[in-house]
Amino acid sequence: MVTLEAILDRNNLNRAWKQVVKNKGSAGVDGMKVTDLLSHLREHGPELVQAIKEGSYKPQPVLRVLIPKEEKGKFRPLGIPTATDRLVQQAVQQKLSENTNRYSETAVTVSDRTEVATRH
C-alpha cells in the first residue's frame, strides 16, 4: 500500500524533481520553466506539501497546444501541466511503480513456487 507520507517523503520528492528536470518540457499555464522549479520549491515546498496533506492542493489547468502532424494541415492537441504538477505526478508515479513492482515480484515468486509444487 502506498501512503501519502511515502509520496511526500523528502527523498521521493527529490527524486521526482530530478526526473522532472531530466525530462525537460515546456512551461505550463503558470509560465514557470522546469529550470525554475528548484527555487520555487525552496520557497514554496513546505506550503505545497501541507496543501497536499490537507487535501487543499488543486492542480492547475493544463496548457493546451496544438502539435502539427505529419499530414499537412493536421494538428493534435497536447496538454502541458505546470512544473509543480509534474513534480507531484512524478512523486506519485514513483511510489505506485515501486509498489506495483513489489507485487509483480511476489506474483512471480508465488507462481514459481506453485509450478515447482505441481511438478512433484
What pLDDT is attached to residue 60? 97
- In sequence order, the 6+-apart residues with CB closer than 8 A to the CB of 114 are none
Asked if 57 contacts 88 with a C-beta cutoff of 8 angstroms, the reply is yes
Mean pLDDT of 48-62: 97
Question: Residue 117: pLDDT above 50?
Answer: no
Give the phi and the psi of residue 64 in degrees, each rounded to 5. -95, 125
What pLDDT is attached to residue 22? 97
Overall pTM > 0.85:
no
Q: What is the DSSP string of 28-93?
A: -TT---GGGHHHHHHHHHHHHHHHHHHT---PPPPEEEEEE-SSTT-EEEEEE--HHHHHHHHHHH
How do residues 15-35 score in pLDDT, each as one tens digit? 999 999 999 999 999 999 999
How do residues 80-101 score in pLDDT, each as one tens digit? 999 999 999 999 999 999 977 6
Percent share of the chain, pLDDT over 90: 78
**What 3-state DSSP class applies to 92?**
helix
Q: Apex CA 102: angle with CA 101 and CA 105, to 5°? A: 85
